[in-house]
Amino acid sequence: MELSRRELIKSLLVLGSGVAVAGSLESLTGCSAENTQALPTSSPSTVPPISTPAPASPSVMVPSPPQMPYLAVARGQNPEAIVQAAIKALGGMERFVKKGNDVIIKPNICVAYHTFEYAATTNPEVVAALVKLCLVAGAKRVRVMDQPFGGTAEQAYQISGISTAVKAAGGEMEIMSAMKFREVPIPSGRDITKWQVYGEVLDTDVLINVPIAKHHNLGRLTLGMKNLMGLVKDRNQFHFNLGQRVADLTSLLRPQLTVVDAVRILTNHGPTGGSLDDVKLMNTVIASHDIVATDAYAATLFGLTANDIPAIRAAMEMGLGTTDLKSLKIEEINV
């Protein structure tokens, strides 16, 4: 039986509560929680094709059917066209979004300082293309949101160009409210086992992650997994043991689809940038249900490997996805 994203998130929260209960029993009875029977941590819907490694923890990913590529890479001059080509190669947006679904798209809109040409924020045409595809697939509502750390959300949404593009495509821009964060357990977390996460993301049917590929002064690169930090409260605290904490968060917030915007990449002075000399035009998007695989491929655009990025390395060790690109069915498309 295939579980919905909401049901799987609830299962994760119940599992986290169970861990806490086990700890209470240990203190009362002297019995170790290690001797209690563990709850199952996977469901049939999370098992990818036989030729690819299966995640070791609960997941809301949509596995790749055997006949379809595990990962798609599209290149071309038109951002909307390459997004469409990549999603088509993966089986179409209908594979991820069903009629009546509530969809949240999470781009990187970190600052209000620069337009998208400076590659600090996700390309608005990439975001708008995904909004359109979701609506055509039958989504009831498509919301786009982020938590800028430079400038207000309204300013960042507008200056990035994302607000105008999303509204023209039929989507909604949401200002993330401080009242909607709630503390939840992270059952698979190795460093953090609970955090305050934006509740709307926990409750949505589909989460689509749309980072821009860029340099980061602490984590080396900001890609799909690190982009999820925009969905938590007190994210400055993530910078202690950053790689592991990003992987821990990823174990909870598992997007059904990650699309890495590499139309322009920021090669230095990230995450905010500020000089066009640091921007390299790549005209590329990378898409997969596996956030770890998309990040691993995106790292190669910078001449790096998965092992060079602490967050990717930690996620691989946790079994959250695969970094073995040679073993994957990858479709590369020129538009």
Domain contains 19: no
CB 296 within 8 A of CB 323: yes
Q: Which domain holds residue 56?
A: 46-334
Q: CA-CA-CA-CA torsion for 332, 325, 104, 42, nearest 10 degrees?
A: 140
Q: How many domains does the chain have?
A: 1
Write down the pLDDT at residue 332.
98
d(CA 81, CA 75): 9
Sign of the dihedral defined by the CA atoms of residues 265, 288, 129, 201, in that order = negative
Domain contains 18: no
Write down the pLDDT at residue 33.
35
Domain contains 30: no
Domain contains 1: no
pLDDT tens string, the chain, 335 residues long: the values are 445 555 556 555 544 544 333 333 333 333 333 333 333 333 333 334 333 333 333 345 676 677 899 999 999 999 999 999 999 999 999 999 999 999 999 999 999 989 999 999 999 999 999 999 999 999 999 999 999 998 999 999 999 999 999 999 999 999 999 999 999 999 999 999 999 999 999 999 999 999 999 999 888 999 999 999 999 999 888 888 999 999 999 999 999 999 999 999 999 998 899 999 999 999 999 999 999 999 999 999 999 999 999 999 999 999 999 999 999 999 999 99
Where residue 74 sits, what CATH number does that domain have? 3.40.50.11440
| Cα 206 to chain centroid, rounded | 11
Domain contains 74: yes
Write down the pLDDT at residue 219.
82
Helix, strand or coil for residue 274?
Answer: coil
Helix, strand or coil for residue 196?
Answer: strand
Write down the pLDDT at residue 72.
98
Q: Nearest CA to 93 among 134, 128, 52, 55?
A: 134
> CA angle 87-88-90, nearest 5°?
65
Sign of the dihedral defined by the CA atoms of residues 302, 308, 309, 312, in that order = positive
DSSP 272: T
CB 123 within 8 A of CB 80: no
User: Does pTM surpass 0.85?
Assistant: no
CB 298 within 8 A of CB 41: no
Domain contains 130: yes
CB 158 within 8 A of CB 119: no
Domain contains 146: yes
Write down the pLDDT at residue 52.
38
Domain contains 290: yes
DSSP 114: S
- Alpha carbon distances (Å) from 227 to 121, 122, 309, 313: 11, 11, 14, 16
CB 230 within 8 A of CB 106: yes
